[in-house]
Amino acid sequence: MTSARSPTYSLQEIIERFGGEIAGDASVRVRCVGTLENAGPETIAFLANERYLRQLQTTRAAAVIVGRSAREGATAPRIVCDNPYVYFARVSALLNPPRSARPGIDPAAAAHPQARIDRSAEIGAYAVIACGAEVGPRTIVGPGTSLGENVRIGADCVLHAGVTVCSGCSVGDRVVVHPGVVIGADGFGIAFDEERWVKVPQIGRVRIGNDVEIGANTTIDRGAIDDTVIEEGVKLDNQIQIAHNVRIGAHTAIAACTGIAGSVHIGRFCRIGGGVGIAGHVTIADHVEISGQTAITKSIDSPGVYSGVYPFEANRDWRRNAAQLRRLSELAKRVAALEARIAELTRDRPPHD
Protein backbone atom coordinates (compact mmCIF):
# COMPACT_ATOMS: atom_id res chain seq x y z
CA MET A 1 0.00 0.00 0.00
CA THR A 2 2.94 2.35 0.58
CA SER A 3 3.93 3.82 -2.75
CA ALA A 4 7.56 3.84 -3.86
CA ARG A 5 7.85 7.56 -3.29
CA SER A 6 6.86 7.57 0.37
CA PRO A 7 9.60 9.13 2.53
CA THR A 8 12.16 7.17 4.55
CA TYR A 9 13.28 7.75 8.13
CA SER A 10 16.48 6.69 9.85
CA LEU A 11 16.27 4.87 13.19
CA GLN A 12 17.93 7.94 14.70
CA GLU A 13 15.16 10.19 13.39
CA ILE A 14 12.57 7.77 14.75
CA ILE A 15 13.93 7.66 18.30
CA GLU A 16 14.20 11.44 18.29
CA ARG A 17 10.42 11.49 17.82
CA PHE A 18 9.29 8.58 19.91
CA GLY A 19 12.08 7.80 22.41
CA GLY A 20 13.70 4.40 23.00
CA GLU A 21 17.29 3.48 22.25
CA ILE A 22 19.05 1.95 19.28
CA ALA A 23 21.12 -1.22 19.19
CA GLY A 24 23.08 -1.50 15.94
CA ASP A 25 23.35 0.92 13.03
CA ALA A 26 21.32 4.09 13.78
CA SER A 27 21.59 5.34 10.21
CA VAL A 28 19.54 2.51 8.69
CA ARG A 29 16.56 3.99 6.85
CA VAL A 30 13.08 2.50 6.74
CA ARG A 31 10.17 3.27 4.43
CA CYS A 32 7.41 0.90 5.48
CA VAL A 33 6.31 -1.52 8.17
CA GLY A 34 6.01 -5.28 7.89
CA THR A 35 5.73 -8.50 9.83
CA LEU A 36 8.86 -10.32 10.90
CA GLU A 37 7.82 -13.16 8.63
CA ASN A 38 7.15 -11.24 5.43
CA ALA A 39 9.29 -8.12 5.77
CA GLY A 40 11.30 -6.98 2.77
CA PRO A 41 14.09 -4.41 2.49
CA GLU A 42 13.53 -0.89 3.89
CA THR A 43 11.00 -2.45 6.27
CA ILE A 44 10.75 -2.10 10.02
CA ALA A 45 9.05 -4.92 11.95
CA PHE A 46 8.35 -5.52 15.62
CA LEU A 47 8.30 -8.26 18.21
CA ALA A 48 5.49 -7.91 20.76
CA ASN A 49 4.95 -11.57 21.58
CA GLU A 50 7.76 -13.81 22.78
CA ARG A 51 6.38 -16.74 20.84
CA TYR A 52 7.59 -15.19 17.60
CA LEU A 53 11.11 -14.78 19.06
CA ARG A 54 12.56 -17.27 16.63
CA GLN A 55 11.44 -15.14 13.68
CA LEU A 56 13.82 -12.42 14.90
CA GLN A 57 16.69 -14.58 13.67
CA THR A 58 15.36 -15.13 10.19
CA THR A 59 13.57 -11.89 9.36
CA ARG A 60 14.71 -9.90 6.36
CA ALA A 61 13.50 -6.68 7.97
CA ALA A 62 15.94 -3.75 7.82
CA ALA A 63 15.22 -2.99 11.46
CA VAL A 64 13.07 -4.26 14.30
CA ILE A 65 11.36 -2.82 17.36
CA VAL A 66 11.79 -4.97 20.46
CA GLY A 67 11.21 -4.86 24.20
CA ARG A 68 14.09 -4.73 26.64
CA SER A 69 14.03 -8.47 27.28
CA ALA A 70 14.48 -9.28 23.58
CA ARG A 71 17.27 -6.77 23.11
CA GLU A 72 19.88 -9.38 22.34
CA GLY A 73 17.55 -11.68 20.41
CA ALA A 74 18.15 -10.00 17.06
CA THR A 75 21.09 -9.15 14.87
CA ALA A 76 19.28 -6.57 12.72
CA PRO A 77 19.48 -2.94 13.84
CA ARG A 78 16.79 -2.45 16.43
CA ILE A 79 14.94 0.04 18.55
CA VAL A 80 14.65 -1.09 22.17
CA CYS A 81 11.67 0.28 24.09
CA ASP A 82 9.20 -0.45 26.87
CA ASN A 83 6.17 -1.33 24.79
CA PRO A 84 7.08 -2.46 21.28
CA TYR A 85 3.47 -2.74 20.09
CA VAL A 86 2.64 0.84 21.05
CA TYR A 87 5.95 1.99 19.60
CA PHE A 88 5.19 0.15 16.38
CA ALA A 89 1.75 1.79 16.24
CA ARG A 90 3.42 5.21 16.34
CA VAL A 91 6.04 4.36 13.74
CA SER A 92 3.41 2.87 11.46
CA ALA A 93 1.29 6.02 11.78
CA LEU A 94 4.37 8.05 10.82
CA LEU A 95 5.00 5.90 7.74
CA ASN A 96 1.30 5.53 6.86
CA PRO A 97 -0.28 8.89 7.60
CA PRO A 98 -4.06 8.98 7.16
CA ARG A 99 -5.12 10.93 4.10
CA SER A 100 -6.30 14.50 4.66
CA ALA A 101 -9.72 15.84 3.75
CA ARG A 102 -10.02 17.24 0.22
CA PRO A 103 -12.04 20.34 1.08
CA GLY A 104 -15.37 20.72 -0.65
CA ILE A 105 -18.78 19.27 -1.24
CA ASP A 106 -19.07 16.79 -4.11
CA PRO A 107 -21.47 18.16 -6.74
CA ALA A 108 -23.35 14.87 -6.41
CA ALA A 109 -23.98 15.31 -2.70
CA ALA A 110 -27.21 16.68 -1.22
CA ALA A 111 -26.36 19.26 1.43
CA HIS A 112 -29.31 21.17 2.82
CA PRO A 113 -28.91 24.96 2.58
CA GLN A 114 -29.31 25.14 6.33
CA ALA A 115 -26.61 22.58 7.02
CA ARG A 116 -23.40 24.09 8.41
CA ILE A 117 -20.44 22.44 6.75
CA ASP A 118 -16.95 23.69 7.51
CA ARG A 119 -15.04 24.82 4.42
CA SER A 120 -12.23 22.45 5.15
CA ALA A 121 -14.53 19.43 5.35
CA GLU A 122 -14.90 16.88 2.53
CA ILE A 123 -18.36 15.66 1.58
CA GLY A 124 -18.41 12.66 -0.76
CA ALA A 125 -20.70 11.78 -3.64
CA TYR A 126 -24.30 10.89 -2.77
CA ALA A 127 -23.85 11.94 0.84
CA VAL A 128 -26.93 13.56 2.38
CA ILE A 129 -26.56 16.34 4.96
CA ALA A 130 -29.96 17.30 6.34
CA CYS A 131 -31.29 20.60 7.64
CA GLY A 132 -29.43 21.90 10.67
CA ALA A 133 -26.67 19.29 10.50
CA GLU A 134 -23.14 20.45 11.27
CA VAL A 135 -19.83 19.07 9.99
CA GLY A 136 -16.61 20.23 11.64
CA PRO A 137 -13.22 21.24 10.22
CA ARG A 138 -11.22 18.72 8.24
CA THR A 139 -13.85 16.05 8.69
CA ILE A 140 -14.39 13.57 5.86
CA VAL A 141 -17.94 12.37 5.12
CA GLY A 142 -17.76 9.35 2.81
CA PRO A 143 -19.87 8.54 -0.23
CA GLY A 144 -23.48 7.65 0.44
CA THR A 145 -23.28 8.62 4.10
CA SER A 146 -26.41 10.22 5.54
CA LEU A 147 -26.53 12.77 8.37
CA GLY A 148 -30.02 13.47 9.72
CA GLU A 149 -31.46 16.77 10.91
CA ASN A 150 -29.45 18.61 13.54
CA VAL A 151 -26.71 16.00 13.65
CA ARG A 152 -23.42 17.41 14.87
CA ILE A 153 -20.09 15.94 13.73
CA GLY A 154 -16.91 17.42 15.25
CA ALA A 155 -13.50 18.15 13.78
CA ASP A 156 -11.05 15.76 12.17
CA CYS A 157 -13.52 12.89 11.97
CA VAL A 158 -13.68 10.26 9.25
CA LEU A 159 -17.12 8.86 8.45
CA HIS A 160 -16.54 6.22 5.81
CA ALA A 161 -18.99 5.20 3.08
CA GLY A 162 -22.56 4.22 3.85
CA VAL A 163 -22.77 5.48 7.43
CA THR A 164 -26.12 6.65 8.82
CA VAL A 165 -26.36 9.14 11.68
CA CYS A 166 -29.97 9.81 12.65
CA SER A 167 -31.45 13.15 13.68
CA GLY A 168 -30.13 14.97 16.69
CA CYS A 169 -27.16 12.71 17.42
CA SER A 170 -23.72 14.17 18.11
CA VAL A 171 -20.22 12.91 17.45
CA GLY A 172 -17.06 14.41 18.99
CA ASP A 173 -13.69 15.19 17.43
CA ARG A 174 -11.29 12.71 15.84
CA VAL A 175 -13.95 10.02 15.68
CA VAL A 176 -13.63 7.28 13.04
CA VAL A 177 -16.80 5.57 11.85
CA HIS A 178 -16.50 2.62 9.48
CA PRO A 179 -18.92 1.69 6.68
CA GLY A 180 -22.42 0.52 7.42
CA VAL A 181 -22.55 1.93 10.96
CA VAL A 182 -25.97 3.13 12.13
CA ILE A 183 -26.00 5.70 14.93
CA GLY A 184 -29.30 6.75 16.43
CA ALA A 185 -31.87 4.33 15.06
CA ASP A 186 -34.82 3.80 17.37
CA GLY A 187 -34.24 1.64 20.42
CA PHE A 188 -36.39 -1.47 20.89
CA GLY A 189 -39.07 0.16 23.03
CA ILE A 190 -42.40 -1.62 22.91
CA ALA A 191 -45.18 -2.11 25.46
CA PHE A 192 -47.61 -5.02 25.31
CA ASP A 193 -51.25 -4.04 25.40
CA GLU A 194 -54.19 -6.32 24.83
CA GLU A 195 -52.65 -8.66 22.32
CA ARG A 196 -50.49 -6.21 20.45
CA TRP A 197 -47.32 -4.19 20.84
CA VAL A 198 -47.45 -0.41 21.18
CA LYS A 199 -44.36 1.52 20.12
CA VAL A 200 -42.73 3.75 22.72
CA PRO A 201 -41.35 6.78 20.87
CA GLN A 202 -37.58 6.89 21.14
CA ILE A 203 -36.85 10.55 21.73
CA GLY A 204 -33.39 10.45 23.30
CA ARG A 205 -30.26 10.83 21.21
CA VAL A 206 -26.80 9.27 20.90
CA ARG A 207 -23.84 11.28 22.15
CA ILE A 208 -20.39 10.09 21.17
CA GLY A 209 -17.24 11.54 22.74
CA ASN A 210 -13.87 12.41 21.25
CA ASP A 211 -11.43 9.83 19.89
CA VAL A 212 -14.00 7.08 19.58
CA GLU A 213 -13.70 4.47 16.79
CA ILE A 214 -16.70 2.45 15.60
CA GLY A 215 -16.33 -0.69 13.48
CA ALA A 216 -18.22 -1.65 10.35
CA ASN A 217 -21.97 -2.40 10.60
CA THR A 218 -22.09 -1.62 14.32
CA THR A 219 -25.41 -0.16 15.54
CA ILE A 220 -25.92 2.28 18.42
CA ASP A 221 -29.55 3.03 19.26
CA ARG A 222 -30.82 6.40 20.40
CA GLY A 223 -32.11 6.67 23.97
CA ALA A 224 -35.75 6.05 24.80
CA ILE A 225 -36.02 9.29 26.77
CA ASP A 226 -32.55 10.23 28.00
CA ASP A 227 -29.50 9.69 25.77
CA THR A 228 -27.27 6.76 24.89
CA VAL A 229 -23.70 7.81 25.69
CA ILE A 230 -20.33 6.58 24.39
CA GLU A 231 -17.57 8.33 26.31
CA GLU A 232 -14.23 9.50 24.95
CA GLY A 233 -11.66 7.05 23.72
CA VAL A 234 -14.04 4.09 23.49
CA LYS A 235 -13.07 1.61 20.76
CA LEU A 236 -15.80 -0.52 19.21
CA ASP A 237 -15.15 -3.32 16.75
CA ASN A 238 -17.52 -4.48 13.97
CA GLN A 239 -21.13 -5.65 14.26
CA ILE A 240 -21.58 -4.58 17.86
CA GLN A 241 -25.12 -3.78 18.99
CA ILE A 242 -25.59 -1.08 21.63
CA ALA A 243 -29.18 -0.66 22.78
CA HIS A 244 -30.95 2.43 24.04
CA ASN A 245 -29.68 4.22 27.13
CA VAL A 246 -26.46 2.28 27.37
CA ARG A 247 -23.50 4.24 28.75
CA ILE A 248 -19.98 3.07 27.95
CA GLY A 249 -17.19 4.53 30.06
CA ALA A 250 -14.11 6.19 28.64
CA HIS A 251 -11.36 4.08 27.05
CA THR A 252 -13.31 0.85 27.17
CA ALA A 253 -12.63 -1.47 24.20
CA ILE A 254 -15.20 -3.97 22.90
CA ALA A 255 -14.52 -6.70 20.35
CA ALA A 256 -16.79 -7.68 17.48
CA CYS A 257 -20.30 -9.18 17.60
CA THR A 258 -20.94 -8.19 21.20
CA GLY A 259 -24.54 -7.27 22.06
CA ILE A 260 -25.34 -4.86 24.88
CA ALA A 261 -28.96 -4.64 25.99
CA GLY A 262 -30.85 -1.57 27.14
CA SER A 263 -29.73 0.65 30.04
CA VAL A 264 -26.48 -1.24 30.62
CA HIS A 265 -23.75 0.90 32.20
CA ILE A 266 -20.19 -0.20 31.50
CA GLY A 267 -17.29 1.36 33.37
CA ARG A 268 -14.07 2.91 32.15
CA PHE A 269 -11.07 0.96 30.90
CA CYS A 270 -13.02 -2.26 30.47
CA ARG A 271 -12.02 -4.87 27.89
CA ILE A 272 -14.86 -6.92 26.52
CA GLY A 273 -14.24 -9.87 24.22
CA GLY A 274 -16.04 -10.76 21.02
CA GLY A 275 -19.50 -12.28 20.96
CA VAL A 276 -20.29 -11.27 24.53
CA GLY A 277 -23.93 -10.66 25.49
CA ILE A 278 -24.84 -8.30 28.33
CA ALA A 279 -28.38 -8.40 29.70
CA GLY A 280 -30.48 -5.29 30.23
CA HIS A 281 -29.96 -2.93 33.19
CA VAL A 282 -26.65 -4.55 34.19
CA THR A 283 -23.89 -2.35 35.63
CA ILE A 284 -20.23 -3.22 35.12
CA ALA A 285 -17.44 -1.69 37.18
CA ASP A 286 -14.31 -0.02 35.80
CA HIS A 287 -11.38 -2.22 34.71
CA VAL A 288 -13.49 -5.32 34.16
CA GLU A 289 -12.34 -7.81 31.54
CA ILE A 290 -14.86 -10.22 30.01
CA SER A 291 -13.82 -13.26 27.98
CA GLY A 292 -15.23 -13.66 24.49
CA GLN A 293 -18.61 -15.45 24.14
CA THR A 294 -19.56 -14.91 27.80
CA ALA A 295 -23.18 -14.07 28.72
CA ILE A 296 -23.30 -11.46 31.46
CA THR A 297 -26.63 -11.82 33.24
CA LYS A 298 -26.04 -9.71 36.34
CA SER A 299 -23.96 -6.76 37.46
CA ILE A 300 -20.22 -6.96 38.13
CA ASP A 301 -19.02 -4.84 41.03
CA SER A 302 -15.29 -5.61 41.13
CA PRO A 303 -12.47 -5.35 38.59
CA GLY A 304 -11.19 -8.68 37.36
CA VAL A 305 -11.57 -11.20 34.58
CA TYR A 306 -14.95 -12.91 34.12
CA SER A 307 -15.78 -15.88 31.91
CA GLY A 308 -18.57 -18.28 31.08
CA VAL A 309 -17.89 -20.30 27.96
CA TYR A 310 -19.04 -23.85 27.34
CA PRO A 311 -15.85 -25.83 26.61
CA PHE A 312 -16.03 -27.37 23.15
CA GLU A 313 -15.17 -31.03 22.53
CA ALA A 314 -15.39 -33.70 19.91
CA ASN A 315 -19.11 -34.01 19.23
CA ARG A 316 -19.35 -37.51 20.75
CA ASP A 317 -17.83 -36.40 24.04
CA TRP A 318 -19.93 -33.26 24.12
CA ARG A 319 -23.13 -35.27 23.64
CA ARG A 320 -22.23 -37.50 26.56
CA ASN A 321 -21.34 -34.65 28.90
CA ALA A 322 -24.15 -32.33 27.87
CA ALA A 323 -26.68 -35.07 28.55
CA GLN A 324 -25.39 -35.29 32.11
CA LEU A 325 -25.55 -31.51 32.48
CA ARG A 326 -29.33 -31.82 32.40
CA ARG A 327 -29.06 -34.20 35.42
CA LEU A 328 -26.47 -32.22 37.34
CA SER A 329 -28.76 -31.08 40.11
CA GLU A 330 -29.90 -34.66 40.63
CA LEU A 331 -26.30 -35.87 40.61
CA ALA A 332 -25.44 -33.40 43.35
CA LYS A 333 -28.30 -34.77 45.43
CA ARG A 334 -27.08 -38.32 44.91
CA VAL A 335 -23.62 -37.34 46.11
CA ALA A 336 -25.09 -35.71 49.21
CA ALA A 337 -27.08 -38.89 49.89
CA LEU A 338 -23.93 -40.99 49.54
CA GLU A 339 -22.10 -38.72 51.93
CA ALA A 340 -24.89 -39.09 54.48
CA ARG A 341 -24.95 -42.84 54.03
CA ILE A 342 -21.19 -43.14 54.49
CA ALA A 343 -21.30 -40.95 57.56
CA GLU A 344 -23.96 -43.20 58.98
CA LEU A 345 -22.08 -46.39 58.13
CA THR A 346 -18.91 -45.17 59.76
CA ARG A 347 -20.47 -43.45 62.73
CA ASP A 348 -18.57 -45.76 65.05
CA ARG A 349 -15.50 -46.28 62.88
CA PRO A 350 -13.01 -43.43 62.75
CA PRO A 351 -10.96 -43.14 59.54
CA HIS A 352 -7.88 -45.35 59.44
CA ASP A 353 -5.29 -42.65 59.69
Q: State whether residue 153 is helix, strand or coil.
A: strand
For residue 123, the minimal CB distance to a second copy (Å) is 13
Question: How crowded is residue 6: how many other Cβ atoms within 10 Å of its Cβ?
Answer: 13
Count of chain residues binding a second copy (CB under 8 A) = 134
Q: Please, which of residues 98-127 interact with a second copy by CB under 8 A?
A: 98, 106, 108, 110, 124-126
CA dist., res. 273 & res. 251, Å (int): 15
Question: Is there binding between residue 199 and a second copy (CB under 8 A)?
Answer: yes
Q: Please, which of residues 204-223 interact with a second copy by CB under 8 A?
A: 204-205, 211, 213, 215-217, 219, 221
Question: Is there binding between residue 15 and a second copy (CB under 8 A)?
Answer: no
29-30 and 9-10 strand pairing: antiparallel
Q: Please, which of residues 62-101 interact with a second copy by CB under 8 A?
A: 83, 85-86, 88-90, 92-93, 96, 98
Among candidates 274, 268, 312, 310, which has minimal Cα distance to 290? Answer: 274
Question: Contact at 8 Å (CB) between 264 and 258?
Answer: no
Question: Is there binding between residue 225 and a second copy (CB under 8 A)?
Answer: yes
For residue 346, the minimal CB distance to a second copy (Å) is 7
Question: Is there binding between residue 5 and a second copy (CB under 8 A)?
Answer: no
Which segment (22-30, 62-70, 114-122, 306-314) binds a second copy by CB under 8 A? Answer: 306-314
Question: Is there binding between residue 4 and a second copy (CB under 8 A)?
Answer: no
CA dist., res. 195 & res. 246, Å (int): 29
190-193 and 196-199 strand pairing: antiparallel
Among candidates 311, 300, 303, which has minimal Cα distance to 278? Answer: 300
Which segment (22-30, 54-62, 73-81, 275-283) binds a second copy by CB under 8 A? Answer: 275-283
Query: Closer to a second copy at the Cβ: 68 or 341?
Result: 341
Active-site entry in 112, 160, 244, 251: 244
Query: Closer to a second copy at the Cβ: 12 or 297?
Result: 297
Question: Is there binding between residue 155 and a second copy (CB under 8 A)?
Answer: no
As a dihedral over the C-alpha atoms of residue 220, residue 224, residue 227, residue 231, rounded to 10 degrees, the angle is: -40
Query: Closer to a second copy at the Cβ: 25 or 42?
Result: 42
CA dist., res. 336 & res. 169, Å (int): 58
Question: Is there binding between residue 255 and a second copy (CB under 8 A)?
Answer: yes
**Residues 6+ away with beta carbon under 8 Å from 273:** 255, 258, 290, 291, 292, 293, 294
Per the annotation, the verdict on 251 as an active-site residue is: no
Which segment (6-14, 52-60, 67-75, 193-201) binds a second copy by CB under 8 A? Answer: 193-201
For residue 294, the minimal CB distance to a second copy (Å) is 5
**Contact residue for a second copy among 133, 172, 237, 248 (CB under 8 A):** 237
Question: Is there binding between residue 309 and a second copy (CB under 8 A)?
Answer: yes
Q: What is the DSSP annotation of 56-112?
A: HHH---SEEEEEGGGGGG--S-EEEES-HHHHHHHHHHHHSPPPPP--EE-TTSEE-
For residue 70, the minimal CB distance to a second copy (Å) is 17
For residue 352, the minimal CB distance to a second copy (Å) is 5
What Rg, from alpha-carbon coordinates, does the chain have?
A: 27
**Contact residue for a second copy among 175, 257, 264, 266 (CB under 8 A):** 257
CA dist., res. 128 & res. 143, Å (int): 9
Residues identified as active-site: 244
